[in-house]
Amino acid sequence: MVMEKTLILIKHDAVSRGLIGRIITRFENTGLKIIAMKMIWADKSLAENHYFLDEEWAKNVYEKTKKTREASGEPFPFKDPIAYGKMIQSWNMEFLQEGPVVAMVLEGPHAVEIARKMVGSTEPRQSAPGTIRGDFAMIESYALANDKSRVLRNLVHASDSTENAKREIALWFSESEIHSYKKELDKHF
């Protein structure tokens, strides 16, 4: 499926640093269409549903973090991927309730892949210059975050698959908040 929708959250660290406009501009520049947008302060139930504990996700977060920390010669004393995932999930839930975020839905060809590319790696330290995380948060790392028992403050969330995008969009927006309209580029699709 070439035409896709994806959910973007401009997380509260970006809102609080005054980066909303600059981040939206980057997504607009790709040619993807903003079809829904609002500022929203998540409650516990929304935070829990957004970051629900999925075993695959927990294992993936554990492996990504372990690999990075060990490659840098840093300690990674955790043994249980699920327990580690649970800890990250609870930090994520806290962070999502810290203050309002800007939620939006982007639509267009390959929207999921393009938005993830624009955002960069999970750890801003590994994000390439030119990506949102690389340009605005490169000093942030697993080492800093985990030593302070907090989440990576990496500015933006972007859905990682079309299936997750569908689930996440339904969580953050009602049908009536999602708009259908034409843009200049549409005549070429």
Active site residues: 157
Pairing between strand 33-40 and 101-109?
antiparallel
Residue nearest to ligand ADP (CB): 122
SS3 17: coil
Closer to ligand ADP at the Cβ: 7 or 61?
A: 61
Name the minimum Å distance from CB 87 to ligand ADP.
Answer: 8
Closer to ligand ADP at the Cβ: 67 or 179?
A: 67
| Continuous H helices in the chain | 12-16, 20-29, 44-50, 55-71, 81-96, 111-119, 132-137, 142-147, 162-172
Closer to ligand ADP at the Cβ: 6 or 154?
A: 154
Name the minimum Å distance from CB 18 to ligand ADP.
Answer: 20
**Contact at 8 Å (CB) between 24 and 9?**
no
Name the minimum Å distance from CB 3 to ligand ADP.
Answer: 22
Among 110, 137, 123, CA closest to 31: 110
Q: Which amino acid is at 82?
A: I
- Strands in 3-10's sheet, in edge-to-edge order, are 33-40, 101-109, 3-10, 156-158
DSSP output for 132-160: HHHHHHTT--HHHHHHTT-----SEEE-S
Closer to ligand ADP at the Cβ: 161 or 185?
A: 161
Name the minimum Å distance from CB 146 to ligand ADP.
Answer: 5
Residues that bind ligand ADP (CB under 6 A): 61, 65, 88, 91-92, 122, 142, 145-146, 151-152, 154, 157, 160
